[in-house]
Structure 1
Amino acid sequence: MMVDFVPDKTVYPFESRWFDSSGGRVHYIDEGVGPPILFCHGSPTWSFLYRKIVAGLRVRYRCIAVDYLGFGLSERPENFGYRIAGHTTVLGELIDHLQLDGFVLMGQDWGGPIGLGAATERADRIRGLVLGNTAFWPIEPLANRAFSLIMGSRHMQRRILEQNLLVERFLLGELGRTLTETEANHYRMVQPTVEARRGLAVMPKEIRAARTQLAQLAQDVPALLGKKPALAVWGMRDMVFRPKACIPRIHEAFTDLAVVELPHARHFIQEHAPGEIISAIANRFP
Structure 2
Amino acid sequence: MPSHTEWTERQDSATVDVDGHDLDVAFYDEGSGDPVVLLHGIPTWSYLWRDVVPGLEDERRVIVPDMVGYGNSSMEDGFDRSIRAQEEMVDGLLDELGVETVSFVGHDLGGGVGLRYASHRPDAVDELVLSNAVAYDSWPIGTVANLGLPSTVEENGVDGLQEMLDGLYRKTLFDDDPSEEFVEGMKAQWRSERAAVSLCRNAVATNTNHTTELDYGAIAAETLLLWGTDDEFQPVSYAERLRDDLSGAEVRGLDDAEHWVMQDRPDAYREELRSFLVE
Shorter-chain TM band: 0.7 to 0.9
Q: What is the distance in 2 between the residues matched to 1:230 and 1:108?
A: 14
The residue identity in structure 1 corresponding to 2:41 is G
Deviation string 1:33-67 (CA, Å, 9 cap, x unpaired) is 12211001001111100011001211111111110
1:257 corresponds to: 249
SS at 1:124's partner residue? coil
- Alpha-carbon distance, 1:145 to partner: 5.6
1:129 is matched with: 128
Q: 1:71 to 1:146 in 2, by over 3 A?
A: closer
CA 1:183 to 1:108, structure 2 compared with 1: closer, same or farther past 3 Å? closer
TM-score (norm 1): 0.84
Query: Hey, what's the Cα distance between the residues in 2 that align with 1:65 and 1:145?
Result: 25
Across the aligned residues of Structure 1 and Structure 2, the Cα RMSD in angstroms comes to 2.4
Alpha carbons of structure 1 residues 57 and 229: separation in structure 2 relative to 1, 3 Å: same
SS at match of 2:93: helix
Identical-residue share of aligned pairs (%): 21
Range with bigger deviation, 191-200 or 34-43? 191-200
Report which stretch shifted further, 58-67 or 196-205: 196-205
- Show CA shifts across 1:230-258 (max 9, x none): 10111011000111x21221112212122
Is 2:273 aligned against 1:284? no
Distance in 2 of aligned mates of 1:70 and 1:17? 16
User: Which runs of structure 2 are paired with 1:234-273 in the superposition (5 Å)?
Assistant: 234-243=227-236, 245-273=237-265
Query: Judging changes above 3 Å, is the alpha-carbon distance between structure 1 residues 45 and 150 closer, same or farther for their aligned structure 2 residues?
Result: closer
Change (3 A) 1:242 1:177: same
Return the offset for 1:73.
1.2
Query: Alignment partner of 1:114: what SS?
Result: helix
Is this contact kept in 2: 1:172–1:184, CA < 8 A? yes
1:16 maps to what in 2?
11
Tell me which residue corresponds to 2:201: 202
CA distance in 1, matches of 2:274, 2:150: 45
Q: Structure 1 residue 191: deviation in Å? A: 1.3
CA distance in structure 2 between the aligned counterparts of 1:194 and 1:8, rounded to whole angstroms: 19
1:222 offset after TM fit, Å? 1.9
Determine which of 217, 227, 236 is the counterpart of 1:222: 217
* Aligned match of 1:35: 34
Unaligned runs of 5+ in 1: 1-5
Q: Structure 2: how far apart are the matches of 1:202 and 1:258? A: 34
**What SS class does the counterpart of residue 73 from structure 1 fall into?**
coil
Q: Does 1:50 align with 2:49?
A: yes
User: What SS does the aligned partner of 2:112 have?
Assistant: helix
Distance change (3 Å), C-alpha of 1:159 and 1:179: farther
Q: In structure 1, what residue type is equivalent to 2:12?
A: R
Unaligned 5+ runs, structure 2: none
Distance 2:5 2:182 in 1: 9
Alignment of 1:82-161 (within 5 A): 82-139=81-138, 146-147=142-143, 149-158=145-154
